[in-house]
């Protein structure tokens, strides 16, 4: 059974202001560093989380607000000092959740010995509403 690397190219398209530490270049640098060292791993595309997965933590009003803010953001727009919305931000965040859920499912279902989900935004500011 092989380990799984779960990622998606959309992670490179979540825009933040210039100079922000959580920027697309971090994602590219990690992929470059991984390089060929993980060739034996399964490479799996992170799926979009289902609405029911998102609703395990967030309510409808919050999810709708995030969707609306991201959809209207021609330029990165702040949710707070560290968290930014972007045009592709909702899909990026949804795939980050989907990737994390898939990583757990693959290990629990014995489809992977271990799993690493490399996605951005990383979600470390996400809180239940």
- Average of per-residue pLDDT across 10-19: 72
pLDDT digits (tens, 9 = 90+) for 70-121: 777 677 767 777 776 777 778 888 999 999 999 999 999 999 999 999 887 7
Domain count, the chain: 1
- Supply the pTM of this predicted model: 0.83
Residue 123 belongs to some domain of the structure:
no
Give residue 105's domain range: 4-118
More confident of the two residues 26 and 116? 116
Residue 128 belongs to some domain of the structure:
no
Assign 124 a pLDDT band (cuts: 50, 70, 90). low
> For position 62, what pLDDT does the model report?
87
Residue 78 belongs to some domain of the structure:
yes
Output b/e per residue, 41-74; b: 16+ Cβ within 10 A. bbebebbbbeeebbeeebeeeebeebbebbeebe
């Amino acid at each position: 059974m092989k380990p799984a690397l779960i990622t998606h190219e959309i992670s490179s398209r979540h825009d933040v202001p210039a100079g922000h530490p959580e920027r697309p270049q971090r994602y590219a640098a990690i992929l470059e560093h991984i390089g060929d060292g993980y060739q034996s791993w399964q490479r799996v595309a992170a799926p979009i989380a289902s609405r029911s997965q998102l609703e395990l933590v967030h309510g409808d009003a919050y999810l709708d607000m995030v969707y609306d803010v991201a959809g209207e953001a021609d330029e990165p727009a702040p949710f707070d000092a560290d968290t930014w919305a972007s045009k592709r931000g909702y899909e990026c965040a949804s795939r980050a959740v989907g990737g994390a859920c898939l990583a757990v499912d693959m290990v629990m279902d014995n489809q992977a010995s271990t799993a690493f989900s490399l996605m951005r935004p990383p979600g470390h500011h996400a809180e239940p509403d």
